Structure 1
Amino acid sequence: MSTTKLPPNTPPIVSAQEWEAARVDMLAKEKAHTHARDALMAERRQMPWLAVENKYIFDGPNGRVNLLDLFEGRRQLIVYRAFFEPGVHGWPQHACIGCSMVADQVSHLSHLHARDTTLAYASRAPQADIKRLKSQMGWQHIPWYTITDSFDADFGVAEWHGHNAFIRDGDRIFRTYFINSRGDEAIGTVWSFLDMTALGRQEEWEKSPAGYPQSRPYKWWNWHDSYVPDAAPDPKWVEVSDAGEAAMRSRDS
């Protein structure tokens, strides 16, 4: 049991009724924050795109690949530049402590894949070291490549970590967004990854350009071992989630 004392100047101790009133007041502010964030994400989806002309070559677990290969056939790609290489604190036993915390937060990738989006990591360490690190740290689910050229310098991640988002049209690739510094603190959930992409969560409530892929919220969700491409939503889950939505609307009203 901890014997550490609380710091001075803590908030007041109040009754249950006072606490609930304070929570309701804070909830209103949190909802306003959420709505403002939704508007910001909609603005992000209107960002211009930058054509990527260089092929960029990486070493992968099965040999040389280019940036297009990193998409794994999906429409969107997010590449996180993780620092694992000579000269980085922790080498060769560990990757950068901060980058390792980011990797620890990566959720199950099947949900991203269901939204036609791939996540990949890239470092300058050789593949043998990357394979060892992934096994040691439990990161086998993350595709992880070795940078061999100017990819990191060209995309703002030569000296510091960051997530770059891309989209493809056939073989043509476009850079759509970039998150780094403290922005990386919030990355790791399915929603945080999708929110940084050009297509967003691809749900009907989102304000996106006309023609963007969108479906009903909640309905595309599935167990991570049960996704089937282009399958209709589980009818029982549609029933359950519809009831949940109705209950939330009734409560909020």
Structure 2
Amino acid sequence: MSPSDQNGTKREQPAMHTPPVVSPQDWEAARQELLVKEKAHTRARDALAAERRRMPWVAVDKSYVFEGPAGKLSLPDLFNGRRQLIVYRAFFEPGVFGWPEHACRGCSMVADQVAHLSHLNARDTTLVFVSRAPQADIARLKRDMGWQMPWFTITDSFDADFGVGEWHGTNVFYRDGDRVFRTYFINNRGDEQMGGTWNYLDVTPLGRQEVWEDSPEGYPQTPTYKWWNWHDSYVDDAPPDQKWVEVSDAGEAAFRNQQNP
């Protein structure tokens, strides 16, 4: 069906120059050829994440105040007891296109991508959104859009100080006792990849915390796959479920046999 303009008149689309149609064997050969490049891309992405984990940190010595559903909070409070904090600056405030019914369309698309937060929490990581809108408006927006992430109100120069005063962006922080450090920042098209658990963990200083990762000495790491759980079944400091360990071990063994027949 041809698309229509605003008056309902059908518009003819230019012909698409589609790829050739080939046999299943030729299609599989083409897939395998591309797979070599895709695997190289994956390895390069892992290497970049390893380099990111070795980036220098900068101490955050200034105090910041946010408004939450229960009142005022500091930046350390936003960690909610965890060591890592990811802060996305979403534009929802007077003057933003969509106000007051909606947040920025781009920021709303980011919010729609956010995976279940329990998986990040299980890796000692908290994700929050921050905006300049009052808490009452944020609560209404979250309810209307079905969003679950913690969302706080900026009350001071936090946005200007961390590169998100005029544009969206994701800041990453690490807490060591009472000290907070800024470890990473990503914005522009870099924010497009955010939303999935793995992409969030890959921008944190501790990474996915699995044994295959190239991380600095002493960083926390646990056996690959073993910490995974249903999002309603994580228990702090609980050992991996033995049945799941057996299932994941069998899966890894089958994959290795397939790769090395």
State TM-score, norm by structure 1.
0.97
Out of 226, 233, 243, which is 1:236 matched to?
243
Secondary structure of the residue aligned to 1:221 is: coil
Matched, 1:113 2:121: yes
Out of 50, 55, 62, which is 1:42 matched to?
50
Secondary structure of the residue aligned to 2:59 is: strand
Q: Which amino acid aligns with 1:199?
A: L
Greater mean alpha carbon deviation, residues 5-14 or residues 94-103:
5-14
Q: Where does residue 39 of structure 2 map in the other structure?
A: 31
Q: Distance in 2 between matches of 1:211 and 1:38?
A: 19
> Aligned pairs, how many?
251
Q: Which amino acid aligns with 1:223?
A: W
- Please state how far the C-alpha of 1:243 moved relative to its aligned partner: 0.9
Q: Where does residue 79 of structure 2 map in the other structure?
A: 71
Q: Distance in 2 between matches of 1:249 and 1:48?
A: 36
Matched, 1:129 2:134: no
Q: Where does residue 8 of structure 1 map in the other structure?
A: 16
Q: Distance in 2 between matches of 1:37 and 1:251?
A: 24
- Please state how far the C-alpha of 1:9 moved relative to its aligned partner: 1.7
Greater mean alpha carbon deviation, residues 4-13 or residues 84-93:
4-13
Q: Deviations over 1:147-173 (max 9, x none)?
A: 000000000000110110000100100
Q: Where does residue 223 of structure 1 map in the other structure?
A: 230
Judge conservation of contact 1:162–1:178 (CA < 8 Å) in 2: yes
Out of 39, 54, 57, which is 2:65 matched to?
57
Matched, 1:142 2:149: yes
Q: Distance in 2 between matches of 1:100 and 1:7?
A: 33
Judge conservation of contact 1:45–1:200 (CA < 8 Å) in 2: yes
Q: Distance in 2 between matches of 1:167 and 1:102?
A: 22
Q: Deviations over 1:23-72 (max 9, x none)?
A: 00011110011001111100000000000001200011100111000000
Q: Matches of residues 171-250 of structure 1 in structure 2 within 5 Å?
A: 171-250=178-257
- Please state how far the C-alpha of 1:130 moved relative to its aligned partner: 0.4
- Please state how far the C-alpha of 1:3 moved relative to its aligned partner: 5.4
Q: Which amino acid aligns with 1:107?
A: A
Question: Which runs of 5 or more structure 1 residues have no equivalent in the other structure?
Answer: none
Secondary structure of the residue aligned to 2:19 is: coil
Judge conservation of contact 1:57–1:148 (CA < 8 Å) in 2: yes
Judge conservation of contact 1:55–1:68 (CA < 8 Å) in 2: no
Q: Distance in 1 between matches of 2:150 and 2:112?
A: 14
Secondary structure of the residue aligned to 1:78 is: strand
Please list every run of at least 4 consecutive aligned residues from structure 1 whose deviation after the TM superposition is greater than 2 angstroms.
2-8
The structure whose Rg is larger is 2
Cα RMSD of the aligned pairs, angstroms, is 1.1
Q: Deviations over 1:193-229 (max 9, x none)?
A: 1000000000000000000000011000000010011
Q: Distance in 2 between matches of 1:183 and 1:251?
A: 35
Q: Percent identity of the aligned residues?
A: 71
Q: Distance in 1 between matches of 2:2 and 2:247?
A: 46
Q: Distance in 2 between matches of 1:81 and 1:114?
A: 23
Q: Where does residue 164 of structure 1 map in the other structure?
A: 171
Q: Which amino acid aligns with 1:245?
A: E
Q: Where does residue 22 of structure 1 map in the other structure?
A: 30
Q: Deviations over 1:65-104 (max 9, x none)?
A: 1100000000100000000001100000100000000000
